[in-house]
Amino acid sequence: MELTKHWAAQLEDYVIDLAWAPAGGSLAAAAGSGPISLFSAADGNRLHLLPGHEQGTNCLAYSPASAALATGGQDGAVKLWDCASGQHTATAPLGRDWVEHLAWSTAGLAATAGRKLLLLGPDAALRHAFPEAAKTLSALAWHPTRAVLAAAGFGAVRLWEVPTWTLEKDFPYGNGIQALTWSPDGRWLVSGNQDPSVHLWLPAEDTELQMSGYESKVKHLAFDHTSRWLATSGGLNASLWDCSGGGPEGREPQMLEHATPVCAVSFQNAHGLLATASTDGTVNLWSPERKQPLRATVRMPGAAARLAWSPDDRLLAIGSERGAVYVLKCEP
Amino acid sequence: MSSPPIPVTVLTGFLGAGKTTLLNRILTEQHGRKLAVIENEFGEVGVDNQLVIAGEEELFEMNNGCICCSVRGDLIRILGRLLKRKDRLDGILIETTGLANPAPVAQTFFTDDEMKSAFRLDAIVTVVDAQHVLQHLDADDEAVKQLAFADVIVLNKVDLVSAAALDALEARIRGINAVARITRAQNCAVPLDQVLNVGGFNLDRATELDPKFLEPEYPFEWAGAYPLPAGSHELVIGHEHDHDHGDGHDHGHDHDHHHHDRDKNQLDLVILPVGGTAEPQLTAARNLAVTAFAGPAVRSQPGGELRPGAFLQRLMLAEEKGTFRLLIPAAGSYVVFEECGEVPLHIQVGGEPVKPGWQQDYHAAHEHNDAVTSVGIHQAGDLDGTKLNQWISELLRTKGGDIYRMKGVLSVKGSDRRLVFQGVHMLFDAKFDRAWGQDARENTLVFIGKNLDRAALTAKFQACLV
């Protein structure tokens, strides 16, 4: 495997979010202070610098179907941008709470603002406001194949069925939830928790599992494309759980070692490599099924805040706490 | 890679006390420092170039709504976001709502690992309206808690209250929280170094504590040692007649006037022979007297006979007066421990008053009116780490709900460094800091809370000494 530096760029602030355009031609990177840069995947040229959100940008998400980029900010708004022209096309003001989570699917754009959960159309028009949650929503994830949206906050994860707007499931959980993900096959719904633990639901089977033993709250989760491996942060090492068969209960996780706490995990989209980052600036690449899983180590000048694989899995984008964006080329 | 934690100042106080005035003052005077303010309401503060974020109190109740297990979810979220900046903030100010219980705010910095490592709770600053606080203290538990949790108390609007009323108010506040630094102010005009970066959550300031507070409390308020010949003398309680007050024990001095409820027609005493009035003999007598005060009392009517011994004598008085026969078996020094220091007591030999050769006022255990009080323990010696751990764990498990704040600097056997600890309700955090070096190895502990049992805390602490 060959890992080479492809290009690098600098934002004015902390890289708070990072996403590749679905067609793969560009990378969007949001600075915590607000501006959003669109870089050419090929050479790192800045194609557009979008003003973003005045008091700071929190998140961004590409539409799977068009060249639209959605961003959410501390101004309580969702903004849509046309990536080809770099034009701001629409704004959905959602109130005074921060917009903290965005997730697209073919059903539309889901957004959270405080305790509100909303579904917006591709033009940012409000399609549906779900009943307000009891606590601020802290994580959001679409089911990979069905039009079901999972939204979590302290105390519960709720599954909403979109065409009918009905509550499909209400999973109580007595603690804070930091992250939420579905396995690509839609079988597992997993939360990373404040307590600190990982909780797994099998919604179709009404079964749930709790995996504890973490050193600190679990803020990052990633499944591999086969739905077998679940990578989690939550301490000095990344823990890798085997979710095949009945799931990780009774199994020991594989510990993928770092010298300082793990701050990001990301699996390739259609291949087996896992990237993990720790606060000392290390980024490791792993092949979980190998006897010697560590494939490569890269040392960055600052801790990675975000990791993102390009749609074709050939580029790994790393956004740092100091505002640097590095793109590495990874060839098998 | 890790930078030092960012100091966090929490501002509490009832509506109208002056929190916002203080906040604005801090923001306008803090040029050159980048502060973030987390406000509880919208639009109160507006200062250029400072980050002002409106929060909404959101409690995460971890354990069936138990307040000891609650943290502020909104703070975890907002502070987590504030860490996502290239440039570090110099400090955070959190303004709570007037009725807020400070516990969940403080607990947030104890339980959440990210908050714990990135931030340092510097101080809880409580702003008090000197004119109106008494009515809040009498009516509202939250007002008492805000004082009990405070590291710094800004006694604001002092211009609206008389000096005597202020002294009384300060004494009342001291009774609740003996360790907070109290600053008097008009219009919240306090030097900023008294509210920011004060290190209120550590006990390096232990030496600044009211020395009387750190003394143990005793069941008596006064003791005097008299040189007495053998024979039958008179012990006189109350003013029999006008006379020169220079000869006896009469409380015209600045002794604290206690308002505890006692029957004015009885007075408890312990009279003990001592070999001399050197420190060791007096300490031994004092310890014996503490035990005797806890034992059964022998009653004496006026005119009755009193004999020295390690037992409690209850003198029955008429109109707060009485004269008793004091039978002294052998010439020597005798110490009288008196329950209530304000009651005049004289010993007369052959009709002439005898002056005490030594006398001492004690901090009495029964002077507080508030259910919320402070207990301080100050003692030299090394502690057994295992026993200490067991005691604190047990204490917090059983009494954590009533213990609001706890701080200490301890000397643990086997370590040449000071063990510094602090706690809020059931949570606590202890770490070894600097070496003792030339300093005397002493233990200082402070508990602030409801229904604290000083004697039990002291006894359990002493049981942990090596």
Do B60 and A174 lie within an 8 Å CB cutoff? no
Where is average pLDDT lowest: B34-38, B243-247, B419-423?
A: B243-247
Residue of B74, B76, B84 lying closest to A16 (CB–CB):
B84
* Residue of B19, B260, B86, B10 whose CA lies nearest to A319: B86
Q: What pLDDT score does B47 carry? A: 58
Using the beta-carbon criterion (under 8 Å), do B1 and A174 form an inter-chain contact?
no
Strand-pair category, A274-278 with A87-93 = unpaired
Inter-chain residue contact B62 with A175, CB threshold 8 Å: yes
| Whole-number Å distance between alpha carbons of B409 and B445 | 7
- The average confidence (pLDDT) of chain A is 96
pLDDT at residue B210 tops 60: no
User: What's residue B75's pLDDT?
Assistant: 94
Q: Do B85 and A135 touch (CB under 8 A)?
A: no
Nearest to B113 among A175, A217, A305 (CB): A217
Of chain B, the percentage scoring pLDDT greater than 90 comes to 39
In this structure, what is the dihedral angle of CA atoms B186, B192, B196, B202, given to the nearest 10 degrees? Answer: -80
**Cross-chain CB nearest to B1 (options A58, A100, A280):** A280
Chain B CB contacts of A112 below 8 Å: none
- pLDDT(B252) > 60: no
User: Chain B within 8 Å of A32 (Cβ-Cβ)?
Assistant: yes
| pLDDT for residue B438 is more than 50 | yes
* Per-residue tokens: B170: 């300060």
Residue B428, Cβ neighbours under 10 Å: how many? 19
Q: Please answer yes or no on whether A281 and B1 come within 8 Å at the CB atom.
A: yes
In chain B, the residue whose alpha carbon lies closest to the alpha carbon of A96 is: B54
| pLDDT tens digits along A10-25 | 999 999 999 999 998 9
Q: A58: which chain B residues are within 8 Å (Cβ-Cβ)?
A: 81
First vs last Cα of chain A: how many Å apart? 4
Q: Is the per-residue pLDDT at B255 higher than 60?
A: no
Predicted pLDDT of residue B24: 87
- Which residue is closest to B77 within chain A, CA to CA? A138
Distance CA B156, CA A45 (A): 58
Mean pLDDT taken over chain B: 84
In this predicted structure, the answer to whether residue B40 has a pLDDT above a threshold of 60 is yes
Question: Which segment of B286-295, B325-334, B389-398 scores lowest on mean pLDDT?
Answer: B286-295
> Which of A36-45, A243-252, B436-445 has the lowest average pLDDT?
B436-445
Asked if A303 reaches chain B (Cβ–Cβ under 8 Å), the answer is: yes
Residue A156, Cβ density class (10 Å: 0-12 exposed, 13-18 middle, ≥19 buried): middle
How much is the pLDDT for A139?
98
- Can you tell me which residue has the tokens 């960012």? B6
Q: What is the average per-residue pLDDT within B94-109? A: 88
A282 pLDDT more than 70: yes
Residue of B nearest to A322 (CA): B86
CB contact under 8 A, A175 and B58: no
CA atoms within 13 A on the CB side of B163: 0
pLDDT for B1 equals 43
* ipTM of this complex prediction, to 2 decimal places: 0.94
Residue-level pLDDT at B216: 62
C-alpha to C-alpha distance for B55 and B40, rounded to whole angstroms: 5
Residue closest to B94 by CA, chosen among B117, B71, B113: B71
Residues of A in contact with B112 (CB under 8 A): 194, 217
Nearest CB to B86 within list A13, A100, A174: A13
Label the pairing between strands A304-309 and A324-331. Answer: unpaired
A 10 A CB-CB count for B167 gives: 10
Alpha carbon of B113: minimum distance to chain A alpha carbons (Å):
6
Cα–Cα distance measured from residue A264 to residue B420, given in angstroms and rounded to the nearest whole number = 34
pLDDT at B367: 47
Do the Cβ atoms of B1 and A13 come within 8 Å?
A: no
> Average pLDDT in the B22-48 region?
77
A280 part of contact set with chain B, CB < 8 Å? yes
pLDDT of residue B246: 43
Taking 50 as the threshold, does the pLDDT of residue B235 lie above it? yes
Tell me the residues of chain A between 121 and 140 that have a Cβ less than 8 Å away from chain B.
135-136, 138
Contact across the interface for A135 and B1, Cβ inside 8 Å: no
- Output the six-digit token pair for A182: 């579905």
What's the confidence (pLDDT) of residue B241?
52
Query: Which residues does chain B have within 8 Å of residue A178's beta carbon, measured at their own beta carbons?
Result: none
B-contacting residues in A 155-174 (Cβ below 8 Å): 174
Confidence band, pLDDT 50/70/90 cuts, at residue B100: confident
The stretch B252-273 carries a mean pLDDT of 67
- Residue of B113, B115, B116 to mutate, testing the A interface (most A Cβ within 10 Å of its Cβ): B113
Q: Which of A181, A226, B108, A145 is CA-nearest to residue A198?
A: A181
| Tens-place pLDDT, residues A64-116 | 988 899 999 999 999 999 999 999 999 999 999 999 999 999 999 999 999 99
A176 touching B (Cβ < 8 Å)? yes
Q: What does the pLDDT look like over A25-74, one tens digit per residue?
A: 999 999 999 999 999 999 999 999 999 999 899 999 999 988 899 999 99
Asked if A175 has any chain B CB less than 8 Å from its own CB, the reply is yes
Contact assignment for B77 to A260 by CB distance below 8 Å: no
Token pair of B151, please? Answer: 């590291």
Residue A131 has pLDDT above 50, yes or no: yes
Q: Model confidence at A262, in pLDDT bands (50, 70, 90)?
A: very high
Cβ of B60 within 8 Å of Cβ of A176? The answer is yes
Per-residue model confidence as pLDDT tens digits over B308-325: 999 999 999 988 889 999
Predicted local confidence at residue A226, as pLDDT: 97
Q: Do A136 and B86 touch (CB under 8 A)?
A: no
In this complex, do A138 and B77 lie within 8 Å of one another by their Cβ atoms?
Answer: yes
Dist. CA A75–CA A96, nearest whole Å? 7
pTM of the model: 0.79
CA distance A32 to chain B (A): 6
Question: In the prediction, which pLDDT does B118 show?
Answer: 93
Say yes or no: A271 contacts chain B, CB-CB below 8 A: no
What is the fold, at CATH topology level, of the domain defined by A2-331? Methylamine Dehydrogenase; Chain H (2.130.10)
- Residues of chain A numbered 5-24 and touching chain B (CB < 8 Å): 12-14, 16
Residue bearing the bigger pLDDT, B261 or B71: B71
d(CA B8, CA B124): 9
Best interface-test mutation with A: which of B52, B78, B84 has the largest number of A CBs within 10 A?
B84
Looking at chain B, the whole-number percentage of residues with pLDDT higher than 70 is 86
Residue B187 near residue B19 (C-beta atoms within 8 A): no
Residue A287, judged by CB atoms within 10 A of its CB (0-12, 13-18, 19+), counts as middle
Smallest Cα distance from B205 to chain A, Å: 32
Contact A96 B42 (CB under 8 A): yes
Percentage with pLDDT > 90 across chain A? 94
Please give the pLDDT value at position B200: 62
Given CB atoms, is A214 within the 8 Å cutoff of chain B?
no
pLDDT at residue number A85: 95
Report chain A residues whose CB lies below 8 A from the CB of B81: 56, 58, 98
Asked whether residue B253 carries a pLDDT value surpassing 70, the answer given is: no
Question: Which residues neighbour B274 within 8 Å (Cβ) at sequence distance 6 or greater?
Answer: B225, B281, B282, B284, B285, B332, B333, B334, B335
Minimal CA separation from B23 to chain A, in Å: 21
Asked if A136 lies within 8 A of B77 by C-beta distance, the reply is yes
pLDDT at B28 (0 to 100) = 85
Q: How far is B43 from chain A (nearest CA, A)?
A: 12
Q: Are B86 and A323 a contacting pair at CB < 8 A?
A: yes
Task: Please give the residue of chain B at the shortest CA–CA distance from A324.
Answer: B86
- Backbone φ and ψ for B74, nearest 5 degrees, come out as -65, -35
